[in-house]
Structure 1
Amino acid sequence: MEVIDYFQSNEFSDRVKRLLDERHVPGLALAIVHHGRIASAGYGSASFSPPRPCTPDTLFDIASASKSLTAASLALLVEDDEQYPEVQYDASMSALLPDDFVLQDPESTAGVTVDDILSHRTGMAPHDFSYLSPRASAPDTARSVTRNLRHLPLAAPIRSKYMYCNMMYTVATHLVEERTGLSFADFLEDRFFRPLGMASTNLQPQRARDRGLGDRIATGYSWKKEQRDYRGFQTPDCPEAQGAGSIITSVNDYIRWVKAMMHREGPVTESLYKGLLKPRSIEDPGEEELAPQTSFTLYAAGWEIYHYRGHAVVCHDGAVAGFGSTHFFLPEFQFGAVILGNSDTAIPAVAIMARELIDLVLQVPHTERPDWNSIEWTSWEKDDNPSETELRQRLCPDVREPQPQQLPLSAYVGRYKNLGYHELTVEATNDQLFVDATDRSFGFVLTFDHVGGQSKYIARLEDHLDGYEALIPAEFVLENGKAVKLGLGLEEEMEDLVWFARVKKGSDA
């Protein structure tokens, strides 16, 4: 049976519906392209209230699956030697953005190249909680995110390891805007969306709404295991993270981009294709639990490459609160796909669906196909966060049970500032210390539970959109019975906490 025939069969439809039910995914849309032929389908719900079915024209936030277009945007500048001769893969970012691209280490400032920012090998930690959303009093832009790099500590020497950093893709868009004079949204429109006929695709959901597409945007959902129910929310605008995500598209539109890449159509030339797919980093050279018949994953520029049964798979996933996505193609087989879902549980679901389609294309005998549904695909399925007991032992090894809070909470209440992470306000609410940081791009709130010494705490971090919870270490530095510094475990790649100094009353510093 031809792949497209199977894709359009009742057998395939039943398989997708079972997966949605098993994985608690409200809606899933898929599009495939095989030897130039395209087919698409939608399953389940784009929204429960009001009820709307998921179709191939439903619009999703594809999160980091946007990065392939960001890398391609810079690649277009690299290709244009007449207008942008200075923009090359090996060009220094500080030479291209001399006033804006400054890192804490002078050697890294001078050495980081376009290649480095596109392949996550700058040595910069993610610092995802450092940038400010439109909910903040002074929201970040691509330029301010770039200029803030000088206030954020590096986690490794340049090119010493792969370290995924969303901010560097936002930096890439700042370079595009500076060189072309266009907003990144307009650049994408002019150079990709319009030429490829992606009429429903936009950067940021508000741009889609402004064009009358709001009723086609899927609601994002988080599955709550304890309540066995969904929490729904609308995907927000994230201009401070443009380039790293926030493309709003459908499978009917985005399969056109996959087809263009695979067949070198439209803006994709042979040299642009090779430049984007040149492997640059090994994502996890020490990885021990590889998927069956699967190689290590290499990062190119906005695309990942792995080999399955000896065949190259070019792909990139996306994950953000309420949405999971992937797009991929197999160059040898002229087969590609886009799979988009509207829940956090869609992240493993799209991975399973992708692998099952790949087995189909490769004509792997059924008896030799792995049970992809049994594999733990993402951190969503694994509880990698430390338990409360583990974190307590780490903070206070000699403390078996939390000690009582003795200092008044007023001793900790106040404003605290870190140049790179901006300002946080510690409040006292319901007899607990509390921080409202919903002004961040990844907005969150913190509630503090005392562990010991009147200075060591476990902070419960809750995402403001999907309610995801994690425990992080927190520590106050006390002087004369009053807090003067606050340290928070906001960056896993850093050994130290992120330290905020208390702002003195009456000070604007």
Structure 2
Amino acid sequence: MRVSILGILGSFLCLAFTLRVAAQSHEGQQKPFAFRHSNNAHATKHIITPEFSRFVEDLLEIANIPGLTLGIVHTDREAERLVELDAWGRKTEEGFGHDMSPDAFMATSLGLLMDDYANGRNVTPLPRSVAQFDWDTKVRDLLPDDWKLEDEWASEKTNIRDMLGHVTGMPRHDYSYQPGDTPQGVVRNLRNLRPGYELRKKWSYNNQMYIVGAHLIAAYANMSYPEFALSRIFEPLGMASTTFSPDVAQRSGKRTQTWTKFGRRISFWFTEEIAHLKAGPGGIISSANDLTIKILTENGQTKWVTVLLNAGVEPVSNTTIIPRSVFDEMTTAHSVVYGSSPAPDSSLIGYGMGWDRWSYRGHEIVAHTGGLPGISTLVALLPDDGLGLVALANADEKAAAERILMERILDDMIDFPQGSRATFVDAEPYTKLELGGSTSKEVRGAALCSSAGSAPSPAELEPYAGTYGNEGYGAITLCAPSSDSFYCNDVFGDFAPFRPDPAVSSPMLLAAYPRVWTTHVRMIPCDGETFDLGFTALFPHGYGRNTSAFETFETGDAEGQAVFVVEEKNGKKTVKGFGLLIDQDAVAERKRMIGTSVEQYADAWFEKV
């Protein structure tokens, strides 16, 4: 979904599909597909060897990844140019091939639009207050009728660089938008969402800012963002299999099936409607083939990663796809994601616009992870080494495993001492963290509770039942065990396969909450008026061949607390509302800056109707 070890989706819009790309030897033994284009006498070192394949197979097993596709691009001018492609695992429940991709293109597209204005290729009138459309242009000036934030200063001063660099001060608020919303509607709803920080104080990922980017392109390019990306990036690079449409990908017969982090098959997460809404931060469907392999045609087209390694220039025809000024602005770190090294061999991590930047064992890396339910992706560039890679897994929350894969590739390339190279063991603590150790949200919710007190009776939860509203998040209706409305009976039916859970003896509040990333919510009494809260997506009838019930959720970002405010008069308890607490850092900052009442410091305050 949404964020991983490094941060995610950003200008990488990803999903994915493709065919297994593996050649067969005469002996019937699989070999990685390799494409060479050079008369240079020097030989580029192959990364995908039998030993490396065994490492990948071990990694897939320990990280619980059904299938993975890897594309590696070598463009070292001192050696032959080479593209290596291979796939491991399965694409479907029947067990053959697979592929997927994270890539692309929002920051690039906005940069191209700026370049069009600078060179007179776009004559769509800009607002009178905009003298020049560039990275420093204020979003408010470009979208005066739509853009507004709760923080007046941020609303006035946020520029394009701030927006794409995730320093607007806005936390994620990923559960505020839902199927049926439009990009313009999401932009206009930002005014109803609370900031977590002052403008430019802290890097804080927010998917909606890339929806704003897509809306900007639609407003000033006289075409939708998908149409713009198709005409300015996909077509010039010959990326014929890349699309924004899940239906087109499905009809191709190449789209992979997808699995949860704990191994259950799930449906492809985006419908056409959601793909349109999420085109900016996460809507492109592509393949390792389309992202890496050169096509030797009359036009000499080259694929995306090779162009990125050549600083935006298509090397065969010497055509500029991304102006150098745009490329440099996107890939230069403007803010700090992690101010200290997350691992002994890594530097601190900075962020440009859609790209993370750091070093590993002294080698510069420009990269970004991506993810949705059922999908994990990584695109990485090592510009000084002339190396690029695309890693595409058909299961979610596998960013840690893909990071270890990238580090192993670099270790092999530089001939780091064999005993000190990255191994699948290095990924184990990260994958355990991602898996969370459980498939049950009830078990996880219970584990969060710090209270050792007795659980409330079902009757004690009755005052909490009812409908609550927040202007930015919409309405939610909570059902107590004694609730008997048609709606609550439907909700209880949805949860029935998951209850009772022996690990959770406490009664709880349940609700349907259909959003892009979730279907339901459960709240488990914890301590006083504090409930542990979990957003979850229920599959009460299973999916695919396995019809047993299961649920899936995003580790960490789907978990939080609901803190109720209760008033008692004449011995009667009246619930005023509850505060939603998801981003604990943002909550702590509001407590420091604004006040100590939950109405003030919560990520969202839901008033009882």
Listed as ranges, the matches of 1:88-237 within 5 Å are 88-133=134-179, 139-209=180-250, 212-213=251-252, 215-224=253-262, 230-237=264-271
Contact 2:407 2:422 in 1 (8 A): no
- Residue 494 of structure 1 pairs with residue 572 of structure 2: no
The question of whether the paired residues in 2 share the 8 Å contact of 1:3 and 1:360 is answered with: no
Say if 2:56 is the partner of 1:16.
yes
Is this contact kept in 1: 2:518–2:535, CA < 8 A?
A: no
Aligned-partner SS, 1:248:
coil
**Residue of 354, 367, 381 corresponding to 1:329:** 381
Q: Which residue of 2 aligns with 1:86?
A: 132
8 Å CA contact 2:47, 2:409 repeated in 1: no
Alignment match, 1:276: 330
1:442 to 517, 525, 547: 517
TM-score (norm 1): 0.85
Structure 1 residue 92: deviation in Å? 0.5
Match of 2:353 in 1: 301
1:485 corresponds in structure 2 to: 577
Q: Residue 462 of structure 1 corresponds to which residue in structure 2?
A: 536
Instruction: Provide the residue aligned with 2:93 in structure 1.
Output: 48
Secondary structure, aligned partner of 1:159: coil
Matched AA of 1:457: F
Q: CA deviation at 1:24?
A: 1.8
Label 1:2 to 1:30 Cα distance change in 2 as closer, same or farther (>3 A). Answer: farther
Q: How does 1:380-391 map to 2 (within 5 A)?
A: 380=434, 391=448
After the TM superposition, which of the residue ranges 199-208 and 350-359 deviates more from structure 2? 199-208
Identity of aligned residues (%): 28
Of 173-182 and 370-379, deviating more is 370-379
Letter of the 1:359 partner, please give it.
Answer: D
Shift of 1:457: 2.4
Take 2:289 and 2:86, find their aligned partners in 1: how far apart are those partners?
A: 9
Cα 1:107–1:89 change in 2 (3 A) is same
Is 2:290 the partner of 1:245?
no
Say if 1:416 and 1:424, in contact at 8 Å, map to a contact too: yes
> Does structure 1 residue 419 correspond to structure 2 residue 471?
yes
| 1:207 Cα offset (Å) | 4.2
The verdict on how the C-alpha distance between 1:251 and 1:13 changes in structure 2, with shifts beyond 3 A counting, is same
3-state DSSP of counterpart to 2:434:
coil
Q: Distance in 1 between matches of 2:193 and 2:396?
A: 29
Point out where structure 1 has 5 or more consecutive residues left out of the alignment. 134-138, 394-398, 504-509
- Give the partner amino acid of 1:176: I
SS in 2 for 1:153: coil
Work out the CA distance in 1 between the residues paired with 2:527 and 2:349.
43
Contact kept? 1:23, 1:345, Cα under 8 Å = no
Unaligned runs of 5+ in 2: 1-41, 76-80, 124-130, 293-302, 315-319, 481-491, 497-506, 540-550, 588-600
Change (3 A) 1:262 1:489: same
State whether residues 55 and 423 of structure 2, in contact with CA within 8 Å, keep that contact through their aligned partners in structure 1.
Answer: no
- Cα separation, 1, equivalents of 2:62 and 2:455: 43
1:269 maps to a residue whose letter is P
In 1, are the aligned partners of 2:111 and 2:326 still within 8 Å (CA)? yes
Match of 1:70 in 2: 106
Deviations 1:372-395 (A, max 9, x none): 6414447515789997677544xx
User: 2 CA distance for matches of 1:153 and 1:164?
Assistant: 14
Secondary structure, aligned partner of 1:5: coil
Change in Cα spacing, 1:433 to 1:418, as seen in structure 2 (3 Å) is same
Report if the CA contact (8 A) 2:369-2:377 is conserved. yes
Deviation at 1:69, TM superposition (A): 0.8
2:512 is matched by which residue type in structure 1?
Answer: D
Contact 2:55-2:424 at 8 Å conserved across structures: no
Q: Which whole-Å deviations, capped at 9, do the CAs of 1:264-300 have from their partners, x for residues lacking one? A: 2251232222122222011121x35x22321111101
Go from structure 1 to structure 2 and tell me whether the alpha carbon gap of 1:52 and 1:369 turns closer, same or farther (over 3 Å shift).
closer
The more displaced of 194-203 and 489-498 is: 489-498
Deviation track 1:138-182 (CA, whole Å, cap 9, x = no partner) reads x21211111111001111111111111111111111111111121
* Amino acid paired to 1:69: F
SS of structure 2 residue aligned to 1:318: strand
Q: After superposition, what is the alpha-carbon deviation per residue over 1:122-146, rounded to whole angstroms, capped at 9, x for unaligned?
A: 111111111112xxxxx21211111
**Of Structure 1 and Structure 2, which has the larger fraction of its residues in strand?**
1
Q: Secondary structure at the match of 1:337?
A: strand
Q: Are the structure 2 counterparts of residues 39 and 488 from structure 1 closer, same or farther at C-alpha, using a change threshold of 3 Å?
A: same
CA contact (8 A) 1:391 1:473 kept: no
Is the Cα–Cα contact under 8 Å of residues 407 and 481 in structure 1 kept in the other structure? no
Q: TM-score normalised to the size of structure 2?
A: 0.72
- Give, as a single letter, the amino acid of the residue that structure 2 aligns with 1:261: L
Give the letter aligned to residue 232 of structure 1: I
The 1:15/1:456 distance shift into structure 2, 3 A limit, reads closer
Larger radius of gyration: 2
Provide the residue aligned with 1:136 in structure 2.
none
**Aligned counterparts of 2:425 and 2:231: Cα–Cα separation in 1:** 40
In structure 1, distance between residues paired with 2:462 and 2:247 = 41
Whichever residue aligns with residue 404 of structure 2, its letter is: I
CA 1:419–1:361 in 2, change beyond 3 Å: closer, same or farther? Answer: same
| C-alpha deviation, 1:252, in angstroms | 0.5
Contact 1:352 1:373 in 2 (8 A): no
Amino acid at match of 1:254: L
Instruction: Specify whether residues 91 and 464 from structure 1 end up closer, same or farther in structure 2 by C-alpha distance, changes over 3 A only.
Output: farther
- In 2, the alpha carbon distance for the partners of 1:235 and 1:2 equals 42
3-state SS in 1 of match to 2:90: strand
One-letter code aligned to 2:466: G
Partner of residue 126, structure 2: none
